[in-house]
């Protein structure tokens, strides 16, 4: 496993549409594992393959709860309902946060790391993260959806800078 470089704002790969994964093989499993390690290094809750420079429809999510890490291949929202206004950031846009409207409930179909079909029902934060990461696979970024006037730049406080 390895920590990969997270692509940041301005990198053209973030605007490209990712390709479907034909076969979930060892190479895809290695990518998933690397993405989890990268996600944890940067304390994120979700990461999409384009954010590490790979145009494949692969995402990982960790809400740091008792449900563990979700590794999803070719995820697709098949149902959504409700709306929630959320504060959102993105590892590709360090220290930037804004208000976004996301679905409150989603059902996602995908393949797991073994190539088996899975269905995930997400509500609240999980619905938000699933929608955010799946947007990445289509070249859609959170800054495309912000409620006007809500974008904030947060600088690390003095305590963080001393570490």
Of the candidates 82, 81, 85, 91, the one whose C-alpha atom is nearest the C-alpha of residue 133 is 91
156 pLDDT more than 90 = no
Q: Where are the beta strands (DSSP E) in 25-114?
A: 46-48, 58-61, 70-81, 84-90, 93-102, 105-111
Instruction: Give residue 1's pLDDT band: very low, low, confident or very high (50, 70, 90).
Output: confident
Half-sphere exposure of 154 (CA within 13 A, CB side): 15
The pLDDT value given to residue 155: 85
Instruction: Give residue 157's pLDDT band: very low, low, confident or very high (50, 70, 90).
Output: low
Q: What is the pLDDT of residues 4-43, one digit of tens each?
A: 999 999 999 999 999 999 999 999 999 999 999 999 999 9
Of the candidates 62, 49, 59, 41, the one whose C-alpha atom is nearest the C-alpha of residue 14 is 49
Active site annotation includes 85: no
Instruction: Give residue 124's pLDDT band: very low, low, confident or very high (50, 70, 90).
Output: very high
Structure tokens at 3: 């920590």
The pLDDT value given to residue 163: 41
- Angle of CA points 32, 93, 109, to nearest 5°: 40
Half-sphere exposure of 138 (CA within 13 A, CB side): 11
Do 111 and 119 meet the contact criterion of CB atoms below 8 Å apart?
no
Dihedral of alpha carbons 92, 32, 39, 82, sign: positive
Q: What is the pLDDT of residues 86-117, one digit of tens each?
A: 999 999 999 999 999 999 999 999 999 999 99
DSSP state string for 8-33: -TT-GGGGSPPBPPS---HHHHHHHH
Please state the CATH superfamily assignment of the domain spanning residues 12-157 in this structure: Peptide deformylase (3.90.45.10)
Annotated catalytic residue within 109, 123, 133, 152: 133
The pLDDT value given to residue 160: 45
123 pLDDT more than 90 = yes
* Residue 158 CA: distances (Å) to CA of 20, 111, 155, 161: 44, 43, 9, 5
Q: What is the pLDDT of residues 56-81, one digit of tens each?
A: 999 999 999 999 999 999 999 999 99
Half-sphere exposure of 61 (CA within 13 A, CB side): 22
């Amino acid at each position: 496993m390895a920590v990969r470089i997270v692509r940041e704002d301005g990198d053209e790969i973030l605007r490209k549409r990712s390709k479907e994964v034909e076969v979930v093989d060892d190479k895809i499993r290695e990518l998933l594992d690397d993405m989890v390690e990268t996600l944890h290094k940067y304390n994120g809750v979700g990461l999409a393959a384009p954010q590490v420079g790979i145009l494949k429809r692969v995402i990982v999510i960790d809400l740091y709860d008792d449900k563990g890490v979700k590794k999803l291949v070719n995820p697709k929202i098949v149902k959504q309902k409700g709306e929630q206004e959320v504060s959102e950031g993105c590892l590709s846009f360090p220290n930037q946060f804004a208000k976004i409207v996301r679905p409150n409930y989603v059902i996602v179909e995908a393949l797991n790391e073994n190539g088996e079909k899975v269905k995930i029902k997400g509500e609240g934060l999980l619905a938000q993260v699933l929608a955010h990461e799946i947007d990445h696979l289509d070249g859609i970024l959170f800054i495309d959806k912000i409620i006007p006037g809500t974008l904030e730049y947060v600088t690390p406080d003095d305590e963080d800078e001393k570490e």
